Structure 1
Amino acid sequence: MINRVIQQFGLHVRSINEVEDSYSSTVYKCHLVNGQHVFLKIPYTKLKYQRELEAYEMLKGHVAIPEMLDYWYGDEECTGAFLLSELKGEPLSSDASPSVAFQVGVLHASMHTIQPPVELTLTGIQNEFQNWSNFIEKQFYSFAEDVRDVLDVHLYNQAIDKFEEMKQLLPHPDGPSLIHMDFRPANIIVDGNKVSGMIDFESVRFGSTEIDFTKLYRDFLRFDNTLFHAYQEGYNSIRSLIDLEVVLPFYRFTDSFNSIGWCKRRGIEKNAVFLEENLVSLKNILV
C-alpha cells in the first residue's frame, strides 16, 4: 500500500520510516532524494480521512499546522492518503519551558476560537455541541461494552454509578468550538523554545472545549504547576479558559475508563502498559 501511495504522489524516496505513537492512522516519514522530509499519512477509515481533510481547510491560516502538499481520495483498497510537510522539532516533552507552555496555551485556544462554518458544508466533522451530554454518554457506554470484559463486576458497577453521578455536576458546555479530541504532547511539535504547531486531526469535532484539556493535563500539565500556570496564561490571552477544576475530575475519570475499553478493542497484550496505567488511575478515582 505504501508503495502505491508513493507512486500516486510521484515521490522519489531515499528512505522511509514508520512513525510510532500514531494510533488512528499509519504514518511514514520519508526522506526524499532532494533532501526534503515529508510525511505520508493513511487514515484507518474514510471518515477519519474526511475529518482530517476538512480540518486542514478550516485550520489553515488560523493555527500553526503542517502544509498539506497533496492528498489522494483513495480507492477500494485504500481509505485515502495525505502528503504533509514537516513541522520542525520534536514532540512536546515534560522538560519544556514556561514559555513553551504559554505558547501551547495560545495554540490550543486559537483552535477553540474556530466555530462551525456557515459557508462550508462538512461531511466528516460532526457538530456534537447541541447534544453534548448525549455525545459524552454515548461515547462512555460504547466503551463500557469492552470495559465490562476487563473489570471485575464490583469495580465496573462502581464506575457506572460514578459516571451517572458526576455527569450531573458538569457546567453548561463551552462552545461550540473546534476540539482536537487528542490534544496530547505527541501531537504538539516544539523546536527549541518555540512551538512549531499541532498535528493529527482525524478525531476532531465541534463540541465543548471541556473535553479537550484532559490528555494534555494527564501527560504534561499535572507534573509542574509553573507550566500549568503558563499554559493557562497563554490560553487566556486568546479566549477565557473555563474552570478546569470543575470539569477535569469528570473527564479524567472518563478518559481512564474509555482508555481501558480502547485497550480491549486494540489488543490487551499489545497495549498492556497503557492498560495498567488506566486501571491504576481508575481504581484511585473510585476508591
Structure 2
Amino acid sequence: MLNRVIKQFGLQVDSLTEVEDSHSSTVYKCTLTKGQNVFLKIPYTKLKFQRELEAYEILKGRVSIPDMLDHWSGDDECPGAFLLSELKGKPLTTEVSPTVAFQVGVLQAQMHTIHPLADQQFYGIKNEFANWSDFVEQQFYSFAEDVKIILDPQLYTQAIEKYEQMKHNLPSPDGPSFVHMDFRPANIIVDGDQVSGMIDFESVRFGSTEVDFTKLYRDFLSFDTTLYKAFREGYISIRPLIDLETVLPFYQFTDAFNSIGWCKRRGIEKNAVFLEENLARLKEFMKQQN
C-alpha cells in the first residue's frame, strides 16, 4: 500500500522512516531526492480520513498546522492518504520554557475559538455539543465492555459507581468549539522557543472544550506549576478558560478508564506500558476519592 501511495503522489523518495506514537494512522517521514522532508499519512479508516480532510479545511489560516500538499481519497483497499509538509521541530516535552507553555495555551485557545457555522456541512466531523453528556457517556460505556475484562470485578464496579457519581458535578459544557480530542505533547510540535503548530486530526469534533485539557495535563501541565501557570496565561489571552479544578478530576478519571479499554482493543501486549500506567492512575484516583 505504501508503494501505491508514493506512486499516487508521484514522489521521488530517497529515504523514509515510520513515525512512532501515531495511533490512528500509519505515518512515514519521507526525504525526497531533492532533500525536502514531507510526511505520508494513511488513516486506518475512511471516517478518520474524512475527519482529517475536513479539519484541514476548517483550520487552514486560523491555527498553525502543516500544509496539505496533496491528498488521495483511496479505493477499496486504501482508506485514503495525505501528503503533508513538515512542521519544523520536535514534539513538545516537559523540558521547555514557560514561553513555550504560554504559546501552547494560545494555540489551544485559538482552536477553541472556532465554532460550527450554520451553513457548513461536514460528513466526517460531527457536532456533538448539543448532546455532550450523552457523547461522553457513550464513549465511557463503550470502553467499559473492554475494561470489564481487565479489571478486578470489585474495582470495575467501584469505577462505574464513581463515574455515575462524578458526572452530576460537572458544570455546563463550554462550546460548541472545535476540539482536537487528542491534544497531547506528541501532537504539538516545538522548535526551540517557538511552537510550530499541531498535527493529527483523526478524532476531532465540535464539542465542549473541557475534554481537550485532559491529556495535555496528564503528560505536560501536571509536571511543573510554572508551565501550568504560563499555559493558563496564554489561553486566557485569547478566550476565557473553564474552571479546570472542577472539570479535570472527572476527565482524568474517565481518561484512565477509557485508556484501559483502548489498550484492550489495540492489543494488551503491544500497549503493556500504557496499560500499566493507566491501571495505576485509575487505582490511585479511586484511592484518593474513597
What is the TM-score when the length of structure 2 is the normalising length?
Answer: 0.98
Query: For residues 176-205 of structure 1, what are the alpha-carbon distances to aligned partners after superposition, in whole Å with 9 as ceiling and x for unaligned?
Result: 000000000000000000000000000000
Quick one: percent identity of the two aligned structures?
74
Whether 2:39 is the aligned partner of 1:43: answer no
1:32 maps to 32
How many Å separate the matches in 1 of 2:212 and 2:172? 15
Query: For residues 125-176 of structure 1, what are the alpha-carbon distances to aligned partners after superposition, in whole Å with 9 as ceiling and x for unaligned?
Result: 0100000010000000000000000001100000000000000000000000
2:234 maps to 234
SS at match of 2:268: coil
How many Å separate the matches in 1 of 2:171 and 2:49? 33
Return the letter of the residue paired with 1:164. E
Structure 2: give runs of 5+ residues left out of the alignment. none
SS at match of 1:30: strand
Cα distance, 1:121 vs. partner? 1.1
Cα distance, 1:120 vs. partner? 2.3
State which drifts further: 118-127 or 212-221: 118-127
SS at match of 1:234: helix
Return the letter of the residue paired with 2:120. L
Query: For residues 220-243 of structure 1, what are the alpha-carbon distances to aligned partners after superposition, in whole Å with 9 as ceiling and x for unaligned?
Result: 000000000000000000000001
Return the letter of the residue paired with 2:176. P
What is the TM-score when the length of structure 1 is the normalising length?
Answer: 1.00
1:201 maps to 201
Matches within 5 A, 1:146-161: 146-161=146-161
SS at match of 2:169: coil
1:189 maps to 189
How many Å separate the matches in 1 of 2:32 and 2:227? 37
How many Å separate the matches in 2 of 1:69 and 1:118? 28
Query: For residues 76-120 of structure 1, what are the alpha-carbon distances to aligned partners after superposition, in whole Å with 9 as ceiling and x for unaligned?
Result: 000000000000000001101000000000000000000012332
RMSD across aligned C-alpha pairs, in angstroms? Answer: 0.5
1:271 maps to 271
How many Å separate the matches in 2 of 1:234 and 1:70? 33
How many Å separate the matches in 2 of 1:2 and 1:116? 35
How many Å separate the matches in 2 of 1:72 and 1:29? 17
1:88 maps to 88
1:260 maps to 260
Query: For residues 41-93 of structure 1, what are the alpha-carbon distances to aligned partners after superposition, in whole Å with 9 as ceiling and x for unaligned?
Result: 00000000000000000000000000000000000000000000000000001
2:248 maps to 248
SS at match of 1:213: helix
SS at match of 1:123: coil
How many Å separate the matches in 1 of 2:54 and 2:238? 23
2:124 maps to 124
Return the letter of the residue paired with 1:219. D
Structure 1: give runs of 5+ residues left out of the alignment. none
Q: Segments of 4+ in structure 1 off by > 2 A? A: 117-120
SS at match of 1:118: coil
Return the letter of the residue paired with 2:81. A
How many Å separate the matches in 1 of 2:33 and 2:118? 43
